[in-house]
Amino acid sequence: MNRIYESFYTRDVLEVAPDLLGKKLCVYSVGKKESFIISEVEAYRGVEDSACHASKGRTPRTEVMYKKGGVIYVYLIYGVHWMFNIVTAELDVPQAVLIRGLRSINGPGRITNKLNIEKSFNGESLISSQRIWLEDGEKPDEIFTSPRIGIDYAGEPWTSKAWRYFI
């Protein structure tokens, strides 16, 4: 067991996001441990990033993003899918990494469906939780980047930032 420690998460989201690729997301699902290699992520960077929920101000929903790196931010999109995010950076710096894909699962909504992640995971700590955490994994061969998906509403320069990272 080589769980990733807090210091990994308290860095800037643009450092953490690409580092997450190749790491193992581990969960206890139906009583047994399962792990998945993270293959696709997106960075959401604080109040100045208009694609980030926190840019609209601190609300009950975005509150978790202001916590110290290492906790989980889960929210419902379109009333249909749960999105799984990992909060990064220091206290009161609202940044998060959206996990968009695992090696065997494509699509952010399908991850949470498969792993049985729902709103009770919101605010849970990846450092101390017994049911979900990250471990060191394989180092990716090559990392690709692209603009983020589905954020046309955010406007420039945010729509063209290459803050989506994948293997």
Binding site for DNA (CB under 7 A): 44, 51-53, 56, 59-62, 75-81, 83, 85, 98, 107-110, 113, 149-153
Choose between 4 and 83: whose C-beta lies nearer to DNA. Answer: 83
Sequence-ordered list of residues with C-beta below 8 angstroms from that of 139, at least 6 positions apart, any chain? 22
Residue with Cβ nearer DNA (44 or 133)? 44
Least CB distance from residue 89 to DNA, whole Å? 15
Q: Kindly tell me which of 31 and 79 has the beta carbon lying closer to DNA.
A: 79
C-alpha to C-alpha distances, 10 to 31, 139, 147, 157, nearest whole angstrom = 30, 20, 24, 25
Q: Which two tokens stand for residue 83?
A: 């999105």
The least CB distance from residue 140 to DNA, in Å, is 21
Q: Could you give the CA distance from residue 136 to residue 79 in angstroms, rounded to a whole number?
A: 33
